A and B are shown apart, each in its own frame.
Chain A
Amino acid sequence: MKAAVVVFPGSNRERDIAYALELTSGVKPALVWHADTALPAGTDLVVLPGGFSYGDYLRCGAIAARAAIMDAVRAHAAKGGLVLGVCNGFQILCEAGLLPGVLMRNSQLKFIARNVHLKVERSDTPYTRRYNAGAVIEVPVAHGEGNYIADDETLKRIEGEGQVVFRYCDASGVVAPKTNINGAMNAIAGIVSDNRRVLGMMPHPENHVDPAIGSTDGRALFESLTDSLQTA
């Protein structure tokens, strides 16, 4: 698997993602600078990591979405390449138009940094094939603007097309208003593009890959990617 992790000024989870990718695939990903105009030849997977690109100025992810490297990321996505955006990366994907909707300030105005439960809605994506549909996993979140919003028509479409991959839930998998940590529509924590090749999610699966941390619930996402690319 040839993975490229894009680094923007203010990215801070690129090493966590790189660690998770290397741990699960055995291959060190390339770190690519935002001002570059091309991805390394043969890149299978592009990752936009978490952080505070450009200090979250203007809107989270807005300036990063217009960075030089993003034309190459768009071209990669357009030809069916895999693109994963975590946290700020999800915000960047929405701002770049690679995923529908937008991430607004958390409804209760608090920055949330803790472990949450997620319901894995689908196992038929390149990112979730190692999970069972309906599985509940525990992963950390750390964000102030993770409140997913889309217009009614878009929301209806992504729900109808099965593009919602992760929802905030409780330990037994129940999705309820009180489990919806940031007020996201339909408790959406992660979505895929209509061809299921682009995934954006607010929680950080890369931080639960190593038993030393106490949980490996996020590991299957990276193993799924490795599987997907080996069998592609």
Chain B
Amino acid sequence: MKARVTVTLKTGVLDPQGKAIEGALKSLGIDGVASVRQGKVFDLELTGSDKAAAEAAIKTACEKLLANTVVENYRIEIA
């Protein structure tokens, strides 16, 4: 199984990198982008086949390391 974890900043947390990218898109003349928020993607190769167990383990990984839940949200997808 594979899993993808997407970590994004919580709404309301200032994202200076997103703002810089937003400015760069504007300067490239790309219209129609109201705002940009930058996040992170982690692709995990899993050894087991128990989806529920994998989800629980990845949730722990997110809470303990992959995300800083003070300012970040995370989303887990397992395929």
Is B65 a contact partner of A149 (Cβ separation < 8 A)? no
The interface size bin for chain A is: 20 to 34
Please report the total number of B residues contacting A with Cβ < 8 Å: 11
- Interface code A5-40, partner B: CB below 8 Å = 1, 0 otherwise? 000000000000000000000000000000000000
B66 touches A104 (CB 8 A): no
Are B17 and A149 in contact, with the CB atoms below 8 A? no
CA distance A95 to B13 in the complex (A): 17
Taking CB as reference atom, which chain A residue is nearest B65?
Answer: A66
Contact of B70 among A102, A105, A106 (CB under 8 A): A102
B34-47, CB under 8 A of A: which get 1 and which 0?
A: 00000000000000
User: Distance (Å) between the CB of A191 and the closest chain B CB?
Assistant: 14
24 A-B contacts, Cβ less than 8 Å apart? Answer: A58-B66, A59-B68, A62-B68, A66-B64, A66-B65, A94-B70, A95-B68, A101-B70, A102-B68, A102-B70, A102-B71, A104-B14, A104-B16, A105-B16, A105-B17, A107-B14, A109-B16, A109-B17, A147-B14, A149-B13, A149-B14, A149-B71, A150-B70, A183-B16
| A-B pairs, 5 with minimum CB distance | A102-B70, A105-B16, A109-B16, A102-B71, A107-B16
Assuming A58-B66, A104-B16, what are 13 further A-B pairs, CB within 8 angstroms? A59-B68, A62-B65, A66-B65, A104-B14, A104-B71, A105-B16, A106-B16, A107-B16, A109-B17, A109-B20, A147-B14, A150-B70, A183-B16
**Chain B interface residues toward A at CB < 8 A:** 13-14, 16-17, 20, 64-66, 68, 70-71
Interface residues in chain A, defined as those with a beta carbon under 8 Å from any beta carbon in chain B: 58-59, 62-63, 66, 94-95, 101-102, 104-109, 147, 149-151, 183
